[in-house]
Amino acid sequence: MCLSPPRPEPRFARVAALLADPTRARMLACLLGGEHRTAGELARAAGITPQAASSQLAQLVEAHLVSERKQGRLKYVALADAEVARLLETLAGVAECDGVAMRWQRPAYQPLKHARRCYGHLAGELGVAQCKALLARGVLVEQADGFTLTAEGRAWLADLGIMLPPSRSRLAWRCMDWSERQDHLAGPLAKALLDHHLHKGWLRANTNNRALRATPEGQARLLPLLDLGG
């Protein structure tokens, strides 16, 4: 009997196998906020020793899921690019399909549901509100491949102290929010907005996870910008 030659394994199978490991999944989830983390911080987040973390990180680097940068004695790790972040967010959305509404009512999930980092931009209830507010104010208009900044929008951003290049493709686009099931804003403009909110002290990051919370000044200044009252 003549046996057919074995078919090559799909290339995504190896990536799927890497993501399926709980330890590596915890490390990647820790990086979803968009910040660089040290290998030691990732080891603590995953609940493993630094030696074990080095082995896991080597596999993630080889698969081009994360990148490493040395600075002095420390090694900083980040997601390789926005495509990896989008993949992880998509998987998170699929994983949350079962009983999503009930899960997000749990107290431990509430801070993340309200506001969190999503690879450098604002997600959660505040992220969705920001996307809606910018469209309602005429700051953005939607095109086939994303959003275009209007002249009024550029003036509005200048009033906030946010300056962007006069011409830049793909300034912003929709990103499905996996807790709200509505779109928040992604792209360079979204990152500039979150950087502004953090720099002004309107939002403050949680040191333990990706959650963000509005400070008293943020409640007075940011929430009205998002049409959420004071």
Give the tens place of pLDDT for each residue, 131-153. Answer: 999 999 999 999 888 898 899 99
Q: How far apart are CA 190 and CA 127, in angstroms?
A: 9
**pLDDT one-digit tens code per residue, 183-210:** 999 989 999 999 999 999 999 988 777 8
| CB contact set of 103 (below 8 Å; sequence gap of 6+) | 96, 109
Residue written as tokens 């009252």? Answer: 229
Look up the pTM and report it. Answer: 0.73
User: Strand 74-79 relative to strand 66-71: parallel, antiparallel, unpaired?
Assistant: antiparallel
**pLDDT score for 74:** 82
Read off the pLDDT band of 214 (50, 70, 90): very high
Per CATH, which fold does 11-82 belong to? Arc Repressor Mutant, subunit A (1.10.10)
Cα 91 to Cα 74: distance, rounded to the nearest angstrom: 30
The domain ranges of the chain are: 11-82, 99-225
Mean pLDDT computed over every residue of the chain: 85
Share of the chain above pLDDT 70, in %: 87
Residue 180 has pLDDT above 70, yes or no: yes
pLDDT band at 181, cuts 50/70/90? confident
Q: Residue 39's closest CA among 19, 61, 22, 18?
A: 61
pLDDT for 138: 93
For residue 157, the model assigns a pLDDT of 92
